[in-house]
Structure 1
Amino acid sequence: MPKPAGFSYVRRPDGAVLITHRARAATTLRGGRAEKFLAEVESGDAQLVMARWTGAYKFGNERRAREHPRNR
């Protein structure tokens, strides 16, 4: 499975974290969720962490798409 790319994040002065994907806002985290995210992104692969937190990680349709006649 290819690694997700194109994610970035910005810490705001009010403590919120804005996660963007290809220069478009994907999600905003505030409070405890923002703190958990920052701790996790510093300790692991940042791109995978941001993909998981935004929900763009696995959609469950990868196997069905691979079996479709158009993709053979």
Structure 2
Amino acid sequence: MSEIDKRNRLSEEPFAYQITKKGTVVIYYGGKQIKIVKDREAERLIARIKEVEDNITEVQLLLAKITGNFKRGNEKFGKNKRK
């Protein structure tokens, strides 16, 4: 068993992406925009996605890695923090 994705979350395809005309990559998680990748980083990401586009799990893994560890449990508070 691989140490990556032990709970099989990436098979549910939580990430989505969109490549714009300007060459930027917009990454979505659960239908919400979470990151915009620009310039050289976007070019590298697009190239890597095209290499593994047949394997959906690999694409999901690339998107998960580029977004980093963005989920920390405080997403639901956002602008309306409790004081």
Alpha carbon RMSD of aligned pairs, Å? 1.9
Do 1:7 and 1:22's aligned partners in 2 also have CA atoms closer than 8 Å? Answer: yes
Normalized against structure 1, the TM-score is what?
Answer: 0.69
Structure 1 residues 3-22: aligned runs within 5 Å: 3-4=9-10, 5-22=13-30
SS at match of 1:18: strand
Q: Which residue of 1 aligns with 2:67?
A: 54
Between Structure 1 and Structure 2, the one with more helix by share is 1
Q: Which runs of 5+ in 1 are unaligned?
A: 60-72
Q: Which residue of 2 aligns with 1:70?
A: none
SS at match of 1:13: coil
How many residues of Structure 1 are paired with residues of Structure 2 in the alignment?
A: 58
Identity of aligned residues (%): 23
Normalized against structure 2, the TM-score is what?
Answer: 0.61
**How big is each residue's C-alpha offset from its partner over 1:7-42, in whole Å with a ceiling of 9 and x where there is no partner?**
111011111110101111121011100000011112
